Amino acid sequence: MVSRVAVEALLLLLAWACALAVRPWRLLQPWQGQVRLATPFLAALTVVPWLWSWPGPAALALPLHWSAAPLVVLLLGWPLAIPLLTVAGLSTMVTLGHPWWQALSVTVWSGVLPATLMLVLGHGVRKAFAPNPVAYLLGRAFLAPMLALGLSSVLAAWLGHGFQSPIASLQRVAMGLLAMGEASWSCALVSLLVAYRPQWLATWSETLYLGRPARTHTPALSRRR
């Protein structure tokens, strides 16, 4: 167990070092009088810890809940997602009474690892299909989240976080269905944001994907003047 905790702590420290190296707080600075990612950041900071506060079945080594890490990466980008997911993981020490080592495991396997795999898979989709709206929605917003969550579950099990109990087969099915369901909802939400609030997606650019200037959203009062 000690070696497993050491590996998880090393992964978290490495992720933080890489995230801080690119200064993620710059994404929350005003640009053209607006902080584009303020709303999705505050929404994710509220919803993700709430999702992770739901207790999972006692028979499972890791709680069975939505990760939301792939969606957070699509909304905020990987560097800003890592601090937010760490806060969500550490919050389980308060909401669920987890010891620090269990909160660390949840942070790494439900947050940091799926988010990092999303970064890698998303880059692969973009390199393979170039900036294509269909590839973004089906590849980066659906297929990449499903693979990232599935691979994270397999790696967590390989390090001893499950698949060894009498209900191991049921756990595999549950995690597979959960990954597919979360990927579907992530794709649906991202599709709506692309249509109505593209400025809330750090990974989307209308100039890049559609070849047109980005839309600006001005307050209703300003439009009436």
108: domain CATH number is 1.10.1760
Give the mean model confidence (pLDDT) for residues 192-220. 80
The answer as to whether 224 is a domain residue is no
Number of CB atoms found within 10 A of residue 194's CB:
19
HEC secondary structure over 69-134 = HHHHHHHHCHHHHHHHHHHHHHHHHHHCCCCHHHHHHHHHHHHHHHHHHHHHHHHHHHHHHCCCHH
> What's the pLDDT at 1?
61
Instruction: Determine, yes or no, domain membership for 102.
Output: yes
* Mean pLDDT within 57-66: 58
Is 207 within a domain?
A: yes
Specify the 3-state DSSP secondary structure of 31.
strand
Domain membership of residue 223 (yes or no) is: no
Residue with tokens 């209308």: 206
Q: Residue 160 gets which letter from DSSP?
A: T
- The verdict on residue 117 lying in a domain is yes
pLDDT score at 215:
61
Mean pLDDT to the nearest integer, 86-112: 92
**Domain, as residue range, for 22:** 2-27+34-212
- Report yes or no on 219 lying in a domain: no
| Closest of 155, 16, 147, 18 to residue 89, by C-alpha | 16
- Where is pLDDT greater, at 96 or 35? 96
Please choose, from the candidates 119, 158, 110, the residue with its C-alpha nearest in 3D space to the C-alpha of residue 12: 110
- Residue 140 in contact with residue 125, Cβ under 8 Å? yes
Neighbours of 128 (CB within 10 A): 10
The pTM of the whole model exceeds 0.95 = no
The total number of structural domains in the chain stands at: 1
Residue 218 lies in a domain: no
Residue 14: inside a domain: yes
Q: Tell me: pLDDT of 124 over 80.
A: yes
Instruction: Give the pLDDT confidence of 157-179 residue by residue, as tens digits.
Output: 777 665 555 556 667 777 888 89
